[in-house]
Amino acid sequence: MIPVPTKFTLTAGTGDADWKLVAFDRALLEAGIGNLNLVKVSSILPPRCTFMERLIIPPGSLTPVAFGAITSEETDATIAAAVAVGVVENTYGVIMEYSGNGTAEDAERIVTEMLHQALAARGLRPQRVLSKGIDHRVRRVGCALAAVILWY
């Protein structure tokens, strides 16, 4: 059985390169998660999961992550990614992720609205909402990434 994560944090990064995958890798590195084996998960925060400003995770670890990312080859375009977490007392919470054209502020506003709609659909009210967004002006091939990292 796979253990249920007990900790989480939010992170974000950007990258620019000659290729999409390298731009994505640079965004992962800037976000501090470039040396982990990420396992993409959907949008549920486990019950009693505690927010940590920083997680120490050994390189190569299989790491659950919910993330939004965008890459673009459109020079001078502004791209953004954001995540939001709704922490609900005594039960599970919800994670939402978003990426698109625009600023970090735009992305955070959109992802927070998405979060509130997802919580309402479940009949949940958050005790705390956390969000993190980032934007990037594309020079060659750009990437913006925001993530919620889950850990044990």
Q: Tokens standing for 57?
A: 């995770």
Active site residue 131: no
Is the pLDDT reported for residue 1 higher than 90?
A: no
Does 2 reside within a domain? Answer: no
Does 94 reside within a domain? Answer: yes
Does 1 reside within a domain? Answer: no
21 to each of 54, 65, 68, 73, how far by Cα in Å? Answer: 26, 18, 15, 12
Give me the chain's average pLDDT, please.
98
Active site residue 113: no
Active site residue 30: no
Active site residue 43: yes
Does 31 reside within a domain? Answer: yes
Choosing from 35, 37, 61, 113, the catalytic residue is: 37
**Location of structure tokens 């009210």:** 125
pLDDT tens digits for range 16-51: 999 999 999 999 999 999 999 999 999 999 999 999
Q: Which domain range does residue 92 map to?
A: 7-53+62-151
DSSP code per residue over 84-138: EEEE-TTS-EEEEEEEEES-HHHHHHHHHHHHHHHHHHTT---SEEEEEEEEEE-
Does 117 reside within a domain? Answer: yes
pLDDT tens digits for range 83-93: 999 999 999 99
Is the pLDDT reported for residue 2 higher than 90?
A: no
Question: How many folded domains does the chain comprise?
Answer: 1
Whole-angstrom Cα distance, residue 144 to residue 148?
14
112-141 mean pLDDT: 98
> Residue 19 belongs to a domain with what CATH number?
3.50.20.10
Whole-angstrom Cα distance, residue 70 to residue 79?
7
Does 49 reside within a domain? Answer: yes
